[in-house]
Chain A
């Protein structure tokens, strides 16, 4: 296995990663729960246009994302039901870490970022795959819209 790439991780996502890594393994799920609780409700504008959302098929629970690019700055929206808190937590990390970045910064996020935040053991590798799918789709949307 090669080492995780860290050089291109934007500061926002690096901070989130570090806060997970600095948390004892046993408490990392609780930090993910905080992110899950913090997932902002989508704006009325977006909520009234469900067709704008892309379903993230890699996730076991229904999660939809929508990425906007305005003047080269990316805003990410995501919605997932309360009975899928892990998925909500993953979405919240990406929404908080990606929103406000430039197109280039988003496209440079390493695909293995989800594996780098110290959750693989607590959550299981299979479940982490959902976050990878979400990141991949967010980047694809940025590519199409920029």
Chain B
């Protein structure tokens, strides 16, 4: 049973899909509502245990959403088992929040979308805003009764791009959301992420550099529709009907941008290249451009 949308925010009303975001106030008033499940997804695997929104369940990107052997996501059976264990039903409204401006929350939302979980939303401002507002946290683990989530085959085609797709896509709208230093090729790793290095540095030819954080307002939430249009339409030149691919290093920061393009700005065809630079930058004989210009095909 879907829970009603958060219609309290004039900012949300401007977005292509206003229902994809909820405010902290909205969530605080509805904790415990039947049909609503709150999910925390963080970079730090222990952050949830230090205190989380009452009733929220934890989903860890690394140990739960990824296949433990192959570099891929869990399959339909794995996802069904995970969500059943977490107590999430197929028709539940899922609100995801997390650390780092919702990087991992957006990543989890994107993975939920690969399995077609329909009603999945983000908490605007994420974990930091909930805490900054002095709202309740608990160390009490959530105890939701297990559900029987159906086995749904993962459908990668619409929102996930593989390396071969990106090779064919060069020259079409590509957004690189990493730091300017990673884009230009000055460094092979993100600042503070040395263990996710690659053998080569630079960017995919013709990719526009739009660091993910440009979509984040000073208050930690998403920027307004007008501000986002200025960045992605006027700045990066995206137009209605474009087929867009976004990438970063392992696909989490680009999930954040994917969410903005797909759900807030309403681009219909947006794919996240989760292989991202950790694949491209170590692949043999793929084209790479260094420097601050996008480069040509």
Partner of B192, one of A32, A60, A124, A127: A60
Q: Are A86 and B46 in touch, CB under 8 angstroms?
A: yes
Interface residue tally for chain B (C-beta within 8 Å): 15
Is residue A126 contacting chain B, with contact meaning CB distance below 8 A?
A: yes
- Are A33 and B195 within 8 A (Cβ)? no
Residues of A within 8 A of B46 (CB): 29, 32-33, 36, 85-86, 89
Bitwise, A8-38 to B at CB < 8 A (1) or not (0) is 0000000000000000000001101100100
The number of chain A residues with a CB under 8 A from chain B is 26
Secondary structure call for the A interface: helix
Residues of B within 8 A of A89 (CB): 46
Given contacts A57-B192, A60-B193, contact A123 B45 (CB under 8 A): yes
A121 near B47 (CB under 8 angstroms)?
Answer: no
Taken together as a complex, chains A and B put the C-alpha atoms of A124 and B63 apart, in Å, by 6
Q: Is A58 an interface residue (CB 8 A)?
A: yes
- Interfacial chain B residues near A126, Cβ < 8 Å: 62, 195-196
B62 with A127: CB separation less than 8 A = yes
Nearest chain A CB to B237 CB, angstrom units: 33
Name the residue in B46, B193, B194, B195 with the highest tally of chain A Cβ atoms < 10 Å from its Cβ. Answer: B46
A83 touching B99 by the CB < 8 A rule? yes
Q: Is the C-beta of B50 less than 8 angstroms from some C-beta in chain A? A: yes
Are B195 and A129 closer than 8 Å at their CB atoms? yes
Q: Which of B43, B45, B99, B195 contacts A29 (CB 8 A)?
A: B45
A85 engages B50 (CB within 8 Å): yes
B118 within 8 A of A: no
Contacts of B63 in A (CB 8 A): 121-124
With contacts A29-B45, A85-B46, A86-B45 known, what are 20 further pairs, Cβ within 8 A? A30-B49, A32-B46, A36-B46, A57-B194, A58-B195, A59-B192, A60-B43, A60-B193, A61-B44, A61-B192, A82-B50, A83-B44, A83-B99, A84-B44, A86-B44, A86-B46, A89-B46, A121-B63, A123-B45, A124-B62
Q: Which 3 A-B pairs have the closest CB atoms?
A: A85-B46, A124-B62, A86-B46
Which A residues fall within an 8 A CB radius of B? 29-30, 32-33, 36, 57-62, 82-87, 89, 121-124, 126-127, 129-130
